[in-house]
Amino acid sequence: MNETHEITNQTPSLGGSAFRDDPLLSHYATGYGNADMTELHQIGAFVRSAEAIDLARLANAEPPKLHTHDRHGRRIDRLEFHPAYHALMRRSAGWGLTGSVWERKEEAAAAGHVRRAIPFYMMAGLETGHLCPVTMTHASVAALLASPDLARSWVPRVVSRKYDSTIKAPGDKAGLTIGMGMTEKQGGTDVNANTTRAERAGKGIYRITGHKWFMSAPMCDAFLMLAQAPDGLSCFLVPRILPDGQPNGIQLQRLKDKLGNRSNASSEAEFHSAAAQIVGEEGAGVRTILEMVTLTRLDCAIASAGLMRASMSEVVHHARHRSAFGGPLIDKPLMVRVLADMAIDTAAATVLSFRLARAFDLAEQDEFEAAYARAMTPVVKYWVCKIAPPLIGEAMECLGGNGYTEDFVLARHYREAPVNSIWEGSGNVMALDLLRVYRRQPELFDMIIEQISDQLGRRAGATLDVLNAAFDLARSDEGAARLVIEQLAMAAAAAELYRLGAGRLADAFAETRLGGTWRMSYGMLDARFDAARILEALYPPEN
């Protein structure tokens, strides 16, 4: 008991289940077997548990430390992580986030990416930093498959669902993680400016000498890396430890001091004649590693949507339990419209991300889905990742001062949110990627816009006018690329909401977002739409 006052009107912890309480996730899991559903319920309960929340807090409060030398002055390049980080990695690997898509390929399953996206989305709402190596490990398989012999020796341990943080030769471990090294000081995104070189050493081995300005997850067992080979920029697999247990000439200079993503290590590194094997063909490095990058972009979108959903769950829960000015916040007309407006964007981001995952699942059998995956990956990544920071910032405001403190999860979510828009291609890079695809294969977008038009139905007219005008402008003005990518993303999100039968929710999104409407903040939803009903549908009240 406090000496000066009784503590009242403080919101209780959220609790519940991130799976059971999310109608959209339940929809995507329709038809799954008992084992899958049991696991999804376990994950949903875990991410809301006090244990999981504490693991996420500790993994970020105690970020990794780099030890370059031992006490005798010998080079060791070791990273020290809090046990909470390893606990999260074990969970995510065990639930298949590092490779379940590739297991299911052998079973000819048609829901690998969507099935994996559900737990990934939930874990992103808990702690996103550890998902960086999870994502790269999962996505690395797409690149490794360009070299079948290499894939045969590495992929089984990459997708094994085993997490092993010990520093040993890859062949001595049951589970492996894969990182990435692309950018350098002088080039950044312009990887063709890379100066790191790869020299042939015989027997399929190359020697890598140079540096990386950002090498993600340097504690991984190996790294996919770009370097200049005799025949041009190429992709290489560079193990951290050699088969004899000795270090492979990778020296970590320092760890980046980042705004967010603090549980995960990002490093500057130098390579001193490090042994490597080529992945794909010499001179095809960008094409090869883009197989990996495309999947990491999908994960960026799913993670951003998951962060928004977790933030919104906290805020809606708060509004239902916090009273001010004579009644619950949820009953205040302005507050409920702000929350419903945010909930609409969160739902749109979620269904658009899962629509892209579905396209990846169906691409091998369906020409249209393959076109959708190629053309819409930069679009989805751009828009979903762009809207996350301002939405989570608004969520913090709904909590007031509590939201701005590290005692509550929204502060960490807010620091985490920008990285997905920066990582694996910033906004401009995504917009330019869209234009590149459009100039090479305009017919892809004709197909996609036709489907969007069919799904929007009578609402398509003004939207198509805006889209066509934006594409016409971008043909001659590269600086208009963001107009195209944003309008296309919102049109595709609306189309997917209608395809799912979202009714008035889809109407609310379409009528307030499409057709070139400019919005600077949330709360602009007008009285035609029942804000309270939208919230109840997307965030069912606790029983």
From first to last of its 543 residues, the chain has per-residue pLDDT tens of: 568 999 999 999 999 999 999 999 999 999 899 999 999 999 999 999 999 999 999 999 999 999 999 999 999 999 999 999 999 999 999 999 999 999 865 444 445 999 999 999 999 999 999 999 999 999 999 999 999 999 999 999 999 999 999 999 999 999 999 999 999 999 888 999 999 999 999 999 999 999 999 999 999 999 999 999 999 999 999 999 999 999 999 999 999 999 999 999 999 999 999 999 999 999 999 999 999 999 999 999 999 999 999 999 999 999 999 999 999 999 999 999 999 999 999 999 999 999 999 999 999 999 999 999 999 999 999 999 999 999 999 999 999 999 999 999 999 999 999 999 999 999 999 999 999 999 999 999 999 999 999 999 988 888 999 999 999 999 999 999 999 999 999 999 999 999 999 999 999 999 999 976 667 789 988 889 999 999 999 999 975
Q: What is the DSSP letter of 18?
A: T
First to last CA, the chain: 29
d(CA 33, CA 53): 28
Contact between 438 and 481 under an 8 Å Cβ cutoff? The reply is: no
Task: Quickly count: other Cβ atoms within 10 Å of residue 122's Cβ.
Answer: 24
What is the torsion angle, in degrees rounded to the nearest 10, for the CA atoms of residue 295, residue 297, residue 301 and residue 306?
60
Distance CA 464, CA 457 (A): 11
**Are 115 and 121 in contact, with CB atoms under 8 Å apart?**
no
Using CA atoms, how far residue 35 sits from 22, 24, 92, in Å, is 19, 20, 17
Do 182 and 225 contact (CB within 8 A), yes or no? yes
Backbone Cα Rg of the chain:
24
| pTM, to two decimals | 0.96
Residue 452 belongs to what H/E stretch?
helix 442-456
